[in-house]
Amino acid sequence: MPVSDESVTADPPAIPRELKNLNVLVVEDNAAALSVMIRFLESFGFRTAAAGNAEEALSLYEKSLDRADKFDLILMDMRLPGMDGITASEKIKKNPRATAPPIIINTAFGKENDIRRAKELGIESCLIKPVKPSVLFDTIMEVFGHKTFSGHRRKKDAANAEGLSGLEVLLAEDHPVNRRVAVEILETAGIFADTAANGIEVLEAVRKKRYDAVLMDIQMPEMDGFEATRRIREGETPPPADHPSPGDSPPLLRRGGRGVRCERIPIIAMTAHAMSGDREKCLDAGMDDYISKPISRKELFDVLRKNIKRSEVRGQGSGVVLPASQFGSTELAEVSILNSQFPGIDIAEGLERFGGSWKLYASILKDFYHFYKNAVSEFYHLLEAKDFEKATLKAHSLKGAAGNVSAVEIALGAKTLESAYECRDEKMIQETLSKLEKDLSGFEKLTDRIMTETEQEISDSPEQKIFENSSSALSELFRKLGKCLQKFDPIEAERCFREIRSSFTFSDFEKDMALLEREISNYNFDDAGKILKNITENLKL
């Protein structure tokens, strides 16, 4: 979130002596993105030359070989008119006249084929758009063998998620906040996640599509995780006699009769119940493993890696984990300051859970606040109605969601409240609700502050997305967003909007897109629907 390290007007970072006055060739066809990238590089004290397409870049590179002042580094956009960035980079790498300088490819989030191609060619690094100056600086330093603090964090995070990119997982979770938390964590590792809100939806999903694993919440409406798991196992092809342990076997499809059946898809339980017998109960139901809530990135990734034999899994992905820094960078001093101002929230833990992204974490905190802002009055109403059973379940749900967003004080309060309702201790209930009301009010202040600063951070970013998807794909995404707005589903609506934003550019409709984002963020779904309809009509979708 700190803006100072993201501003080109701030004090420039320390440059190693041998990298001062670095000569950089920037290849970018978008004039605005090119201008911003050059501004960033020059703020580091580097010299720059620019090319608007691959042919021009190759010409400039060839001419530089006849000079003493050759290029030390090339920043190459992936999507260029005519010849693409990978092809141009390959020509530079294979030029017999000289050893090629390091090349850094810029590509859009989710373009794993680009990253795979770059890796196979020996490209030194990839940057994911939007590119922030701190990430650009760290990447350049690492390419030339200089360690950075954030680089160490990225390597640690990448190692943690190694081998998971490209997996397809079904997430079964009925709570919208918990569902979004899990999806966002999975996506930081390049894992694709579909969601189901109950066991019935799980059964329907696994009939339609093959998944590498299912993350199964235990407590869900209509059909719980235990029953859903039993039914999945009943429909699977029995394993052979010499079948190894479930964690060593990848899911294999068999088609025949009605629908799709699979051999032993890994099912991993997710539960806030940390009782000693819960693991055995999950395994008895046919689940392969178990993770506890609140979700730990490391535990989740370790369990997935343990239970999916990646070498045999379809669609192995690029083998390249997107760097955590693409989701934002964090200064420890800033975290310390905010932790002191909002002691009920473990901001450092929350940021770690979401790959260091202030904007993402603030957005999830905002979702949490809007979901529970009326919780105290609802708890009082349940107390007046003497509906202790429903209140106990609601407190349990609050405890789990608060833990997932690192709202430690609220999680502790919800735990106390759960026990108080179970024991029907009305005095303890009243005392706990009074404190809970104060803790919840702090959320609005925190999210407002973080959102304000991240808006500035994003405005400084040279984000230039490329219209690569077909109009039919865009139409489908808009249709999906419209359904989310009609259902008043803020979690899925925001996720769908971000998917649209990450895949398409809307230069002629930027004002409308900004208005749409604002209305979705403010939960004004009727107005958002009208704006969406206007955009759709203008795009002739």
Q: Which domains does the chain have, with CATH numbers?
A: 4-160 (3.40.50.2300), 168-318 (3.40.50.2300), 330-459 (1.20.120), 471-538 (no CATH)
Three-state SS at 51: strand
Please choose, from the candidates 282, 302, 287, 271, the residue with its C-alpha nearest in 3D space to the C-alpha of residue 173.
271
Task: Report which residue type is found at 239.
Answer: P
DSSP state string for 33-44: HHHHHHHHHHHT
- Give the residue from 350, 300, 357 showing the smallest Cα distance to 326: 357
Residues 6+ apart with CB under 8 A from 290: 268, 269, 271, 278, 279, 282, 283, 303
Amino acid at 476: E
Type of residue at 473: A
| CA pair distance 60, 72, nearest whole angstrom | 13
Question: The tokens of 113 are what?
Answer: 């084929």
Token readout for 297 is 């990135």
Distance CA 330, CA 338 (A): 12
At 316 the pLDDT is 42
CA distances from 280 to 32, 216, 285, 287, 289 (A): 58, 15, 9, 9, 10
Distance, in Å, from the CA atom of 326 to the CA atom of 338, rounded to the nearest integer, reads 22
Placement of tokens 């964690």 in the chain: 247
- Collect the ranges in the chain with pLDDT lower than 70: 1-14, 108-114, 129-130, 147-163, 237-263, 273-278, 310-343, 446-473, 502-508, 522, 541
**HSE, side-chain direction, 13 A CA sphere, residue 141:** 19
Residue-wise pLDDT for 25-61, tens only, equals 999 988 877 888 888 898 888 999 999 999 999 999 9
User: What pLDDT is attached to residue 14?
Assistant: 60
Q: Would you say 290 and 278 are in contact if contact means Cβ atoms under 8 Å apart? A: yes
In the structure encoding, which two tokens stand for residue 413, read together? 């309060």
252-255 vs 260-263, strand pairing mode: antiparallel
Bond from prior residue into 462 cis (ω within 30 degrees of 0): no
Which of 355, 428, 423, 427 has its CA nearest to residue 392?
A: 423
The secondary structure element, H or E, covering residue 107 is strand 103-108
CA–CA dist 158, 322 (Å, integer): 7
Interacting residues of 376 by C-beta distance below 8 A, sequence separation 6+: 433, 436, 437, 440
Q: What Rg value do the Cα atoms of the chain yield, rounded?
A: 25
Closest-CA residue to 85 (of 95, 75, 94): 75
- The total of other beta-carbon atoms located within 10 Å of residue 108's CB is 18
What are phi and psi for residue 171, nearest 5 degrees? Answer: -105, 115
**42 Cα distance to chain centroid:** 31
- Please enumerate in sequence order all residues whose Cβ is within 8 A of that of 102, keeping only pairs 6 or more positions apart, or say none: 72, 73, 74, 124, 125, 143, 144
Q: Is 106 helix (H, G, I), strand (E, B) or coil?
A: strand
How many whole angstroms separate alpha carbon 110 and alpha carbon 166? 10
Q: What is the pLDDT of residues 96-105, one digit of tens each?
A: 999 999 999 9
State the pTM of this model.
0.54
Q: What is the pLDDT of residue 198?
A: 93
> What does each C-alpha distance from 501 to 109, 130, 219, 464 come to in angstroms?
11, 11, 34, 10
Identify the CA nearest to 288 among candidates 257, 264, 267: 267
